[in-house]
């Protein structure tokens, strides 16, 4: 598990809500290179200027006042980024959501504000969506489907989803990308690099962290381009269906290629309850426990056995169906680990459980966290803190894991020992682990997590021994 960013303090500034366009539909995406550059340029200037002002005031303040003002600046600037992403929508909003997982760029209080960028936005007008389907599939939705609901039942930063029915009678959902999103991607990626450069300077000058903005931008770009390609998402659906074919407790919707394209994805409909409903108070604890354990095992199976990880832990991307079964919905963001990386993560887990410091040290080098000459002691301390719930051989209440305090302790160790290396595969694994830790705390499942973790590790090792030469 990974320390989760805390909620902002009660008196912290909050992002202002923005009214939807008339009729409850979203306004067109803010397009035009000049306008988007100006908006992000202004955002970068205001963020950078805020920290410059803090630096100028520092010689005239007490250390306590400087620390308090710096925290306030972090939170204010996170709010600025949130508000900018809400106005720009599309790819920039998605990129800010991804940035909210980078605990090496900003402190937890600021990340908590960034994480409020919601994936739910007002839907596009039905006529605009009809035109998009017609362009992509060659015919209007009412001609393609026996039934097609013109009103979207879900809308996010890159597209929206409609219920429909095939001529065969099968119920499906149709995911439609907003027109113009891809046109803004090149602009947004340039803009995000400017913003990342500012955040990297903040990390260097304020948090004493060395951030490779180029590597972060490249990782974000790769994942965003994948999410914009619905042909790729359909392949991910097929891949995950094959990977979990031996698990009757996991459901992956079947894609319908003949009604899909790069910007339209049709897949079978799955009935069930959104994960957010299961997290709510009043739900039977036995069901919550089943979900917590299943989610935990499914995530580690992806990391340790498949090397193929669903990296978007948003609760809207999971459902719990009858029986029960866990359904994974949005597979646009998937990270494929190279075989040496997958094996190194599995070996690291084995070493962690065994308390094998030498084995952990070797894995840190294989994973790119440390150089061969580095002293691994600090990194071992960090891993033991992060994985504490999975290392205590006793019944453990996840709510006793103090995320804020642990995150601050980890940051302090990294700062003192100048642990700066953050390879690309780490970014989205941390994102997935943040989601895991959050859900387990909310579900409140009290169990011996070390045994569950150990079972997941041993199951992966057993399957690996039995596996054919090629697992994918």
Q: Which of 104, 312, 330, 347 is catalytic?
A: 312
Strand pairing of 264-268 and 147-148? unpaired
Spatial contact of 390 and 449, defined as CB atoms under 8 Å apart: yes
Tokens of 162: 């409609």
Query: What's the 3-state SS for the chain?
Result: CCCCCCCCCCCCCCCCCCCCCHHHCCCCCCCCHHHHHHHHHHHHHHHHHHHHHHHHHHHHCCHHHHHHHHHHHHHHHHHHHHHHHHHHCHHHHHHHHHHCCCCCCCCHHHHHHHCCCCCCCCCCCHHHHHHHHHHHHCCCHHHHCCEECCCCCEECCCEEEEEEECCCCCEEEEEEECCCHHHHHHHHHHHHHHHHHHHHHHHHHCCCCCCCHHHHHHHHHHHHHHHHCHHHHHHHHHHHHHHCCCCCCEECCCECHHHCCCCEEEEECCCCEEHHHHHCCCCCHHHHHHHHHHHHHHHHHHHHHHCEEECCCCHHHEEEECCCEEEECCCCCEEECCHHHHHHHHHHHHHHHHCCHHHHHHHHHHCCCCCCCCCCHHHHHHHHHHCHHHHCCCCECHHHCCHHHHHHHHHHHHHHCCCCCCCHHHHHHHHHHHHHHHHHHHHCCCECHHHHHHHHHHHHHHHHHHCCCCCC
Q: Is 222 known to be catalytic?
A: no
Compute how many other C-beta atoms are within 10 angstroms of the C-beta atom of residue 109.
19
Nearest to 128 by CA among 21, 269, 233: 21
The neighbour count for residue 162, using CB atoms within 10 Å, is 23
Residues 265 and 156: their CA atoms lie apart, in Å, by: 14
As given in the structure block, the two tokens for residue 165 are 């029915």
- Answer yes or no: are the C-beta atoms of 56 and 124 closer than 8 Å: no
Query: In this structure, are residues 110 and 74 in contact, taking their beta carbons and an 8 Å threshold?
Result: yes
Q: Which residues are catalytic?
A: 312
């Amino acid at each position: 598990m990974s320390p989760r960013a805390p909620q902002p303090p009660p008196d912290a500034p909050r992002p202002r809500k923005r009214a939807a366009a008339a009729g409850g539909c979203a306004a067109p995406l803010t397009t035009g290179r000049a306008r988007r550059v100006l908006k992000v340029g202004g955002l970068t200037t205001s963020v950078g200027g805020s920290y410059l002002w803090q630096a100028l005031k520092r010689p005239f303040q007490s250390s306590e006042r400087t620390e308090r003002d710096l925290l306030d600046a972090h939170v204010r600037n996170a709010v600025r980024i949130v508000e900018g992403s809400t106005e720009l929508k599309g790819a920039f909003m998605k990129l800010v959501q991804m940035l909210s997982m980078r605990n090496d760029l900003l402190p937890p209080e600021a990340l908590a504000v960034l994480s409020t960028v919601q994936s739910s936005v007002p839907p596009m007008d039905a006529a605009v969506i009809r035109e998009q389907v017609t362009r992509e599939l060659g015919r209007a939705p009412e001609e393609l489907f026996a039934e097609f609901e013109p009103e979207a039942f879900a809308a996010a930063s890159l597209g929206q989803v409609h219920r429909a029915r095939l001529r065969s009678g099968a119920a499906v959902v149709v995911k439609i990308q907003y027109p113009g999103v891809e046109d803004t991607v090149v602009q947004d990626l340039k803009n995000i690099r400017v913003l990342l450069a500012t955040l990297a300077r903040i990390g260097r000058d304020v948090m004493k962290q060395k951030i490779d903005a180029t590597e972060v931008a490249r990782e974000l770009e790769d994942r965003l381009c994948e999410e914009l390609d619905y042909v790729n998402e359909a392949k991910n659906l097929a891949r995950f269906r094959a990977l979990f074919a031996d698990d009757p407790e996991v459901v992956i919707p079947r894609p319908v290629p003949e009604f899909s394209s790069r910007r339209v994805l049709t897949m079978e409909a799955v009935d069930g309850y959104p994960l957010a409903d299961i997290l709510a108070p009043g739900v039977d604890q036995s069901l919550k426990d089943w979900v917590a354990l299943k989610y935990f095992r499914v995530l580690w199976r992806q990391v340790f056995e498949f090397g193929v990880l669903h990296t978007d832990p948003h609760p809207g991307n999971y459902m719990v169906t009858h029986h029960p079964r866990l359904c994974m919905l949005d597979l646009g963001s998937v990270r494929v680990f190279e075989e040496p990386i997958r094996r190194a993560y599995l070996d690291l887990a084995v070493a962690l459980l065994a308390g094998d410091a030498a084995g952990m040290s070797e894995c840190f080098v294989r994973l790119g966290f440390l150089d061969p000459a580095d002293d691994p002691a600090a990194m071992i301390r960090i891993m033991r803190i992060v994985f504490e719930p999975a290392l205590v051989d006793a019944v453990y209440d996840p709510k006793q894991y103090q995320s804020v305090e642990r995150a601050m302790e980890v940051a302090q160790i990294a700062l003192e020992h100048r642990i700066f290396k953050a390879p690309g595969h780490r970014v989205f694994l941390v994102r997935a682990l943040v989601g895991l830790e959050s859900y387990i705390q909310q579900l409140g499942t009290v169990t011996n997590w070390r045994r569950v973790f150990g079972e997941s590790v041993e199951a992966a090792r057993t399957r690996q021994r039995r596996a054919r030469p090629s697992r994918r």
